[in-house]
Structure formats: C-alpha cells, structure tokens
Amino acid sequence: MKSTHPSFLLLGLLFSLNLTAQQQNLDSLRAVYNTLGEDTLKVEILGDLFNATINRDMQTAQAYAKERLQLAKKLNYRKGTADAHDDVGNYFKYTGKVDSARFHFRKALDIYKEYDNLKGEVMITYALATLELGEGNHEKALELSDQNLAKREQMGDSLGLGIEYNFRAGIFEQKGSFKIAYDNILKALAIYDKIDEPLRKADALNGLGSLEASFLNFEKANEYGLEALKIYREQDDTLYEAVSCNVVGQSYMSLNDFANAEKYLLEAIALSKQLNIKLLEGGATRNLGRNYVKQKRYVEGIEALEQAVTIHRQTPRPIALVRSLYFLASAYNETGQRQKALDVLNESEILAKSSKFAAMLGDIYGERSKALEAQSDYKTALADVREFKRLNDSIFNSDKTKQIEELRTIYETEKKEQQIVLQKNEIDLLEQKAEISNLQRILMGAALVLSLLGFYALRQKMKRNRLEREKVDAELAFKKKELTTHALHLAKKNEVLESVKQKAKELKLAENQPGYQQLIQTINFDQQDDRNWENFTQYFEQVHKDFASNVKSKYPEVTKNELRFMALMKMNMSSKEIAAILNISTDGIKKARQRLRKKMDLSPEDSLENTVLTI
C-alpha cells in the first residue's frame, strides 16, 4: 500500500504550538493570576497560562482560553479578545475540530485587521494555512503561506521565516515535490541554528525524517526522529513528544525492529490519552496493531486495530477512519475472516468516495478483490482488480505530472538565478573593456573628492540631528517620569489622607471632641485641593500636548473632573490607580465610565480606552 509518513500529516494539524513554560514559571503565573481582579492584565496572564498548559493539559488550557475570551469581551478589550479567539481556535485545532477552529481564527483575524496588527494577522493566516494543509487543500495553504512570507520579510521576523519555510516543506512533501520540500526544510534549519530555537529545530528534523521515509530511507528517518524526540523531552513538550514517539515507532516497524516499535508506540498512546488527543491516540493504536500483524500476532493486532477504528469514529477526520478500516480489513483477510473483511471494506469504500480519497480507493479495491476471490466471487473480484489497476495508473500518471511540475519549478528558479549571474558577468566585462581617459580620471577624482566632502557634511548634519533627537527624547522621557511620579504621589497622598480621616472619625466617636471634626474638614479640603492638580496638568500637557483642547473641541460636554479621568486613562493607568488618585470608589469609576461613553456617543462595540488613547 502506498502510504505517507505520518509526520507532516499530523504535524500539519498540530503545527505552530506556543512553546511550553517550565513548571516553576507555570506556578508563578498561577500565583499572579490568583491575586488579580478583572482587568486587562488578567486577560494577558490567562493567555500565558494557556500557552504554558496546552502541550501538557489540554482541558485546563481550554478552561483558561474560555475564561480569557469571556473576560476580554466583558472589558471590551479588543486586542485581548482577538488573542483569546486565537487560543480557543488553537485548542479546537489540536483536538481536530477544524470548523470550530476556523471560526475562531477568522474572528481573531477580523479584529487584528481592525487596528492594523500585522503580527497578529500573520499569526492567524499561518493557523488558517495549517487547517487547509490538514484538509489536503495544498494550493490554498501555499497561497496563504506566500502572503505570510512577504509580510515576515517586511517585519524582519527571522523565527517566523523559519517556521514558514518548515511549513512549506510539509505542503510540498504532500504534493510530491520532494526536492523543493528538502530545500525549504534546509532553509528553516539554517535559520533555527543561527537564532538557537531548539523546539523549532526539532520540528524541522521531524520534517527531514518524514521526507527520508518517503524515499524509504527508514534508518535515516529514524535518526532524525530520535534526535527530534530528544529535544522535545528536554524542552518538556509533551504533545510533540507523543507525536515523535508515534513517528519513531512507525520507523522502527518499517525496519522490522518490532520490539522498539512496540515500545515507542505504547508510549505515544499513553501520552495521547494523558493529553486527550483522540486523533493521535487512534493513529498510534493503528500502528501498534499493524506492528502486531506484521509479527503474525493476529489476536493482539486485530484487537488494537478494532480499537483504532472505535477511536477514529469519535474524530472529525474521515481519512483517519478510512485508514484504520483498511488495515483492519487487511488483518481480517490474512486470518481468513473474509466476510468481516468485506463488511469493513464496503464501509471504507463509501467513506473514501464521499471524502474523495482516490488514493485509498485503489488500495481498498485491491484488498477487497482478495476477499471476493476467496469466496469464489470471481466476477466481482475481477471488477475490483480492474478498478484497482485503473486507479493505480491514474495515481502513477498524477505522480509523473507532479514530478514534471516540480522539475519545471526548479528549472525556472535556476534560470532566474543564472540570469542574475549572467547580468553581473556582463557588467564586469564592460567595466574591464572600458577605456578611461586621463581627463575622465581627473574628473572622476574631483567628483570623488566633492562626494567625500559632501558625504562628510551630510554625516555631520545627521550627527547633529541625531544628538538633537536624543536630547528631545531624553527630555520627553524625563517629563514622562515626572508625570508618572506626580500621579503616583497624588494617589499615595489620597490613600494616606483617607486612612487618617477614617482614624479621626473613629477617635471622634470615641472621644466626642470638636477638634477631630476640624481635622476631618482639613483633610477633605486637602484631598480636593486643585493646586496639586494644576501641577499635574502642567506636567501632563508637556508630555501630551493639546490633549485638553482636543477633548474640549471634540466633546464640549465633558466636565473638568471627567477631563482629569480621561487624562489618567491616557496614561494607561488601571481603574484601581485612577480611583485612588481621584479619591472615588470602584462603583464611582464605573459610573464615570458610563457617563463618559454617553457624552462621547460611543457604541457598545467601541472601546473607551482606545478612543481616549487616539485623542
């Protein structure tokens, strides 16, 4: 049977996982999370917790993603909402729920495009491309990858380029363009070696192993697979450890090293169950059954293959179920259970046709013809043999077409490179043959001197401009520091005065002396003293010029106190800090926000914070 090595097929669905955190970091994140109220910082911490748990505990990761999405929506925090949709989409992608994943990824993409977040757009485009690859839509996946390559170049994203090249290798491998796939993986490895990215390097090594398996170089494939597995274990990446154990187990099976194959496949199954990834558990269980059947341990083999079929019936990937049904039918045939084989093959034929898996159909007809012949149904068996031959010829011709397309792509690329070399050689030759007169040399020398003088003057001017910019930047940084210090001073002063006032009230009730009332009145006066705010306003206007006049121009109904509230929002201060500075309660903050939204005529979808920041 013609089969594709599982590395890229499965990694195509599980690609682009965020790197796992160490246990100590995870404990620290949980400790911070437990101290936070409902604010944007908690939204970000929930994202970190999702990243730290997705490779080891998917159900916990899902809970973090859902909580993050709900909180971000509640706070009307648009960036946090987009990031949370990405997390939920990744959870669904890793668990094989493609439609749900695509829904959340597109939600995230729409929001990122809203405020020109190029990094977010690239991340989501990549995730959508992996979904297309998982469903065999190679051209669509390649089109999305082409878009991302240009954007990653624009961003100067070296790591992203490596990820993109590795992903493209998977696309070209599935298309049968193995040389182009190899070239892309080598580009990815070169980048990963320069920037020291062990997990990404392991992904690329898995890709190389997959390609070697396609060439039937199983020893080399296993060498790459074991190297990748070692990295995943060192980095505590449980999910990809499970994937690699399955890949290595299949390589050992192809080398007829059945003991090692069983060892790694059992480990892959255990890790898959721990992570609750049915798609991976079913694939590893199917390979374990095949390993037993190759040893003629038919009872164990059929039991494992039947279990794989049961598992794959619970996943949304029909190709996985078709493969498990095929290998189960083959085992039934080997053990003389012809009717069982026919029943299973009939089901797999219907599934393969409805899902358009032409390559699998040929294998199904070939296996079914054996069962029919054993039952002396020669006419139907002959019909299946003819279909088997027709489909195999079709696949052979398709492979030849792919090889021709690959050669054409390589030829065109090399032709472009040769044209560049020829053009350079022609320029060099013309320069060598050119006769330069003494006058030309003198003029060239003079021009060179003038150029150097001009360059020196330009450099001096650029130096003066740079020093001036640095001076301005330093002054602005100092003013920002003064502004923040003054704001924090206001907050601290109000907290202390409030504490003293409360103590004075307690003393008044206890002692009933009029002097305490005078003290409270003095504190109230100091808390509401506008002179402190005048100093704060001076600092603020130096940093955020014309803010107050712009607010009054756009929103004339805004009061003096509301303008102060907006100024503190402009400084990205939290609700708690603003409440302390303005000497109001949390409920007061909520009411102030509602009044502002009404005066600024903001819709429920509009973010108050983003609107203030743009003024």
Residue 7: what pLDDT?
42
Higher pLDDT, residue 87 or 448? 87
pLDDT band at residue 110 using 50, 70 and 90 as cut-offs: very high
How confident is the model over 515-531, as pLDDT tens digits?
Answer: 556 556 555 545 555 55
Confidence of residue 18 (pLDDT cuts 50, 70, 90): very low
Distance CA 13, CA 158 (A): 23
Whether the per-residue pLDDT at 10 is higher than 60: the answer is: no
- Does the structure show a pLDDT above 60 at 219? yes
Burial 201-211 (b: 16+ CB within 10 A, else e): bbbbbbbbbbb
Q: What is the pLDDT of residue 571?
A: 84
What is residue 436's predicted lDDT score, i.e. its pLDDT? 46
**What is the residue whose two structure tokens read 């038919």?**
298
Which uninterrupted H or E stretch holds 613?
helix 608-613
Most confident of 238-247, 412-421, 509-518, 521-530: 238-247
Region 108-116: mean pLDDT is 92
Using 50, 70 and 90 to split pLDDT, how confident is the model at 411? very low
Q: Three-class SS of residue 201?
A: helix
Q: Please, which residues have CB within 8 angstroms of residue 245's CB and are 6 or more apart in sequence?
A: 229, 264, 265, 267, 268, 271, 284
Is there a contact between 92 and 101 (Cβ–Cβ < 8 Å)? yes
Identify residue 32 by its one-letter amino acid code. V
Question: What tokens does 352 get?
Answer: 């393969």
Q: Within a 10 A sphere around the Cβ of 180, how many other Cβ atoms?
A: 20
Task: Provide Rg for the chain, Cα atoms.
Answer: 34
The whole-number pLDDT of residue 179 equals 83
Residue 55: name the closest of 261, 250, 167, 199 by CA.
199
3-state secondary structure of 361: helix
584 vs 147, more confident = 147
The answer for 315, left when phi > 0, alpha when psi is -120 to 50, beta otherwise, is: beta
- Cβ pair 102, 114 in contact under 8 A: no
Range from 62-76, 214-228, 253-267, 572-586 carrying the lowest mean pLDDT: 572-586
Distance, in Å, from the CA atom of 146 to the CA atom of 135, rounded to the nearest integer, reads 18
**528: three-class secondary structure by DSSP:** coil
CA dist 287 and 305 (Å) reads 8
d(CA 584, CA 502): 15
Instruction: Look at residues 382, 340, 351 and name the one whose alpha carbon lies nearest to residue 365.
Output: 382
Alpha-carbon torsion (593, 597, 602, 604), positive or negative = positive
Widest distance between CA atoms in the chain: 114
Average pLDDT over residues 297-318: 93
**Cα–Cα distance for residue pair 363/345, rounded to 1 Å:** 10
Of 290-299, 323-332, 412-421, which gets the smallest average pLDDT? Answer: 412-421
| pLDDT tens-place string over residues 343-360 | 999 999 998 888 766 668
> How far is the C-alpha of 548 from the C-alpha of 562, rounded, in Å?
11
Cα separation values, 503 from 417, 513, 523, 567, Å = 82, 14, 12, 31
CB-based contact 321:44 (threshold 8 Å) = no
If pLDDT is split at 50, 70 and 90, which confidence band does 398 have? low
Q: Identify the pLDDT of residue 417.
A: 47
| pLDDT at 8 > cutoff 50 | no
Measured CA to CA, the distance from residue 596 to residue 615 in angstroms comes to 14
pLDDT top residue among 421 and 350: 350
Tens digits of residue pLDDT in 172-209:
888 878 888 888 988 988 898 888 888 888 988 888 88
Q: What is the pLDDT of residue 317?
A: 79
- What is the predicted pLDDT for the residue at 12? 40
pLDDT of residue 384: 80
CA nearest to 330, candidates 318, 312, 319, 342: 342
Average pLDDT, the chain: 80
**Is pLDDT larger for residue 329 or for residue 422?**
329
Q: What is the pLDDT of residues 446-502, one digit of tens each?
A: 556 565 566 555 666 666 666 667 666 656 655 565 556 555 555 556 655 566 667
Which of 18-22, 83-87, 361-365, 438-442 is predicted least confidently? 18-22
409 token code pair: 């792509």
Torsion over CA of 253, 258, 259 and 261, rounded to 10 degrees?
20
